[in-house]
Chains A and B, each alone.
Chain A
């Protein structure tokens, strides 16, 4: 048997250089997404067969302009490359650069090269050199940059084999720094630094430890003290950092003068024309609103078919199992707990996948940056940033990735407000709740012959979500007293056609994350609920006797069965729980069964629907198979009216629009704000608002 050697490779590069495309080409579907310990930054790793005898484990590190991080995502790059004991510490780093912006890309390259790790420079989009009038002298550049250079085009699949070969030969490349500029920055300071630390650390590494005061756990106590000693004068350190950047660029300029030529064609290119249209003072906004509406419309329409299909399929499976399996607790658990639970997760997949597809396309084309540019000033009036637009739109899929997307908002105050208001946007977990209630209380008629009334109500709920987010932001803007320098820098990338491959991977990745993260919660709650609904104290166990004793008239078997199951549910653990909270929710128009659904959906909203399904399938028979039919058939035992009448339905819609019922969101807010303070404020603030608004709504329509 041949022995396979494994080498660890880190992929590093500026955003928009095609680094992810390269990662996708090298690893194909052999990818897995994990997390870095302690933070929820996606850790993308993949396996690549480099040659007959060598496999590569490739880590796609987050895109960054510099090794000096400005966000949590970017700090991963520094952590990975600084700490030799890190599991992902690479044998070789591949820096991905883009041929047109080589100068800026080389800044990151020189920083990494100075860490004295074997480094390969992969210059991407090399197929466009001729068209852009660029010529490279590879021999000169390799000599000056002291590295191996490979020209590639990830989109056209050019040069990939050469890159693999270069990676296999990683041990033959120089490890010497390319820009030994420390002494030109401040001779005395760095002499002092060098003399204090052992030779096992390169000078640049020590410098990074000094500037990036994170608690590096691989250095000794004594070394920590020394680092702190050099950090005394922060403003001096900051000046030195600025000087470092200026010096690095002068080194890079000298090198590029020798080996890089470009004849720029001036004039109106595609970028200028598109910019003028897309960021036009009227047309730009109009187009943005139009694109949003088109996306929501198509998400809704396209997702409808698979969702209906999934809903009825799971109902069928459930019924099939119920009638074909032998009776017993296990069959019940399967048909009434697990299967509806899984159905409650699967039903989201179409919506989330389609929405992330559109968001990925907008990001890939470069349009999102224009939206940020267009919206920034407007958003700032509400204490938000132009960069808040992306989280707010992603929030319509799921608040968890949306809150993670706030990380590139550099201003903490703007970022915090964005995090706090994002859960107001109508996420896909609210949709099944909205959809089922709307289907029951709003007639399926046309207004003015064009608009579907049910669709209109749904649209109003979306607008309520966005409007509340903006209003809440304004209130927070006026109340939160944190002052901070607001640094706002965003790159305006070139327009390009979206790569379907990249879009596909993004969609798969986000959907998978949802299914596994939220899925675990939904499934376990479904099972717990089923258990609570089919077990109870003494009165539950003696249900049959008690119901018989209550009977005055002799009923036929069917009505007896119905009364029995209703009695059982009322006296099960969950029934008792629901009854307990009934007085608190009666003013909102809810009974104890809705109460149960609300309690269970405080961990995840979508559980509302599956809970009602569970409750009614425990209680009811096979007469009504879909959830919608069951809800519509549900009667108020006192008035004999429909339980889900208009006031109650509207009150529920408003309650779900405002309340923060999502354990995953609370967890992510805690992690991102690093304290319980904000998620607690958010949870109670939104909860109170939901209660009051639902109360008003119910009484308004009553």
Chain B
């Protein structure tokens, strides 16, 4: 199983599943939904938070949230 937390910078993937108890509603509302493309744009200097591009929205989340977003790499 591959999650956003173990992507490399520049890699892209399609979101396959989110464990809903661990994902805040507002992250979904910003476009982080199953089926959408996700790119890891950058890591902060201390490897956390993660700077993502999801469906043309750029946002940053912490690693503890990223481990709950499953993806398939493309």
Mutual binders A and B: yes
A interface with B by C-beta (< 8 Å) = 65-66, 68, 70, 100-101, 103-104, 107, 238-239, 241-242, 245-246, 249, 264, 271-272, 275-276, 279-282, 284-285, 369, 372-374, 376-378, 386, 410, 485-494
Q: Which residues of B11-42 have CB atoms within 8 Å of chain A's CB atoms? A: 20, 22-31, 33-34, 41-42
- Count A-B pairs with CB separation below 8 Å: 112
A101 to B25, CA, bound (A): 19
- How many whole Å from A117's CB to the nearest CB in chain B? 20
| Set A103, A241, A271: member contacting B25, Cβ < 8 A | A241
Q: Are B26 and A70 in contact (CB under 8 A)?
A: yes
A281 to B62, CA, bound (A): 17
- How many whole Å from B65's CB to the nearest CB in chain A? 7
- How many whole Å from B15's CB to the nearest CB in chain A? 11
| Set B23, B31, B42, B47: member contacting A279, Cβ < 8 A | B42
Residues of chain A within 8 A of B59, CB atoms compared? 489-492
Residues of chain B within 8 A of A372, CB atoms compared? 60
Nearest 6 pairs between A and B by C-beta?
A281-B45, A377-B46, A487-B24, A492-B58, A66-B29, A245-B28
Residues of chain B within 8 A of A66, CB atoms compared? 25-26, 29
B interface with A by C-beta (< 8 Å) = 20, 22-31, 33-34, 41-42, 44-49, 51, 55-62, 64-65
Q: Are B45 and A490 in contact (CB under 8 A)?
A: no
Q: Are B58 and A491 in contact (CB under 8 A)?
A: yes
Closest to A372 in B: B60
**A interface, over-half SS:** helix
A66 to B61, CA, bound (A): 18
Closest to A376 in B: B49
In the assembled complex, 11 residue pairs joining A and B whose CB atoms fall closer than 8 Å, in A order, are A65-B26, A104-B30, A242-B25, A272-B41, A284-B45, A373-B44, A377-B46, A489-B27, A489-B30, A489-B59, A492-B60
Q: Are B46 and A373 in contact (CB under 8 A)?
A: no
With A65-B30, A70-B26, A103-B31 as given contacts, are A376 and B56 in contact (CB-CB < 8 Å)? no
| Set A68, A374, A487: member contacting B44, Cβ < 8 A | A374
A271 to B28, CA, bound (A): 24
With A66-B26, A100-B56, A246-B33 as given contacts, are A488 and B62 in contact (CB-CB < 8 Å)? yes
Residues of chain B within 8 A of A494, CB atoms compared? 58
Residue from the set B41, B55, B58, B65 with the largest chain A CB neighbour count within 10 Å: B58
- How many whole Å from B46's CB to the nearest CB in chain A? 4
- How many whole Å from A239's CB to the nearest CB in chain B? 7
A226 to B19, CA, bound (A): 30
Residue from the set B20, B30, B65 with the largest chain A CB neighbour count within 10 Å: B30
Closest to A107 in B: B29
Q: Are A491 and B30 in contact (CB under 8 A)?
A: yes
Q: Are B57 and A101 in contact (CB under 8 A)?
A: yes
